Structure formats: structure tokens, C-alpha cells
Amino acid sequence: MSWKNTTNHYGSLSIKMHWLMVLLMILVFASIEGRVFFEKGTDLRDLFKMTHFMLGLLVFILVCARIYLRNVQVTPQITPPLSTMQAWGAKMAHLTLYVFMIAMPIFGWFVLSAKGKVIPFFGLELPALIAYDKPFGKILEGWHKDIGSWGYYLIAFHAVAGLVHHYIQKDDTLIRMLPIKKKD
């Protein structure tokens, strides 16, 4: 399989980036949800939170790379083609996912900045984006958590849509993103 997209199938680079993002999103959510199993102030809880921060920033970097790839490569056509309304809905759903994957890491960075916390990134300490303001940091953190909760629904919708396309509509939406090239 070619690393570049074709008019019928995503290339290996796009496919690997997609599934890497899936894995990263699972780890981002698992790390923040997993922290609750440890008492506040413990090293393990702090490790889970730090992992959440770093993986979130990694999502931001990789989603920027994915957007670049989407813009320099052809997008495979869906066979049979979607209706105009479905195509528009798919574009809006993807746009929402991309906005979520860009905004949430930046939002988290703002939260840490406002709370006066270190912004870790795999051995680096990133600069604060805004000045220390603990009360504002608490407000931002609440918003970050609320929006993050909606992320579960957004991601579930994306996954279910792929399955609906495959099993109900019987088009090749899902097959185009699987590592095995579809039979032409």
C-alpha cells in the first residue's frame, strides 16, 4: 500500500495517523479518568495528570500534522457517493472533531497557566500562555472538564457513524480507513 492517498483509499500515512490519534485519545481520556483511583497529592495521581497533559499536547501537535496531510493529499471518494446532506454532515462532524482536538489541548494549557502550574511536555517545561489567576484557572478547568465530557459523545458519534456506513449503508467509508486495502 502506498503511503499517499488515492482516489479510492487512504494511504498508509493517513491510516497510521488516524489510528495513532485514536490510541492517543484513548490514553488522554484514560489518564485523566484513571487518576481518581489514587488519592489527591500522591505521586501516582500526579503521574496520571501529567501524562494527561503531555498526551493532550501531543494530540495537538499530531492533529496539526493531520490537517496538513488532509490539505496536501486527495481525499478518497466514498462509494457509493453520499447524499449532499450526508456529505455536509460528515464535513461538519470532522470539523467538530478537529476543533475539539485543537482547542482542548490549548484550553488545558491555559488552565495550567492560570493555575500557576508547570506545563510539562516530555522533559520540557512549556511557557505559560496567560498570567497566574487561580480563580480564573478554576473556571477554565470547569469548562475544560465540561467540554471534555462532550468529547466522549463526539468520538462515539464518529465511531458509530463509521459502523452505520459499513453495516447499514453498505458504502466504503470505513474500509477506506482500514490498513487493508479494499478490493477494487
pTM over 0.85: yes
Look at the block and give the residue holding cell 474500509. Answer: 175
Question: Looking at residues 126-139, what average pLDDT do you find?
Answer: 97
Q: Quick check: 160 and 167 in contact, CB under 8 A?
A: no
* pLDDT tens-digit readout, 8-58: 889 999 999 999 999 999 999 999 999 999 999 999 999 999 999 999 999
CB 73 within 8 A of CB 5: yes
Q: Do residues 18 and 177 touch, judged by C-beta distance below 8 A?
A: yes
Domain 12-177 fold: Fumarate Reductase Cytochrome B subunit (1.20.950)
Q: Give the separation between CA 45 and CA 54, rounded to whole angstroms.
A: 14
On whether the CB atoms of residues 42 and 48 are closer than 8 A, the answer is no
Check residue 119 and give its pLDDT.
Answer: 95
Q: Which of 182, 173, 176, 168 is nearest to 90 (CA)?
A: 173
- And the C-alpha cell for 154? 463526539
Q: Which of 155, 59, 38 is nearest to 107 (CA)?
A: 59
Task: Write down the pLDDT at residue 55.
Answer: 98
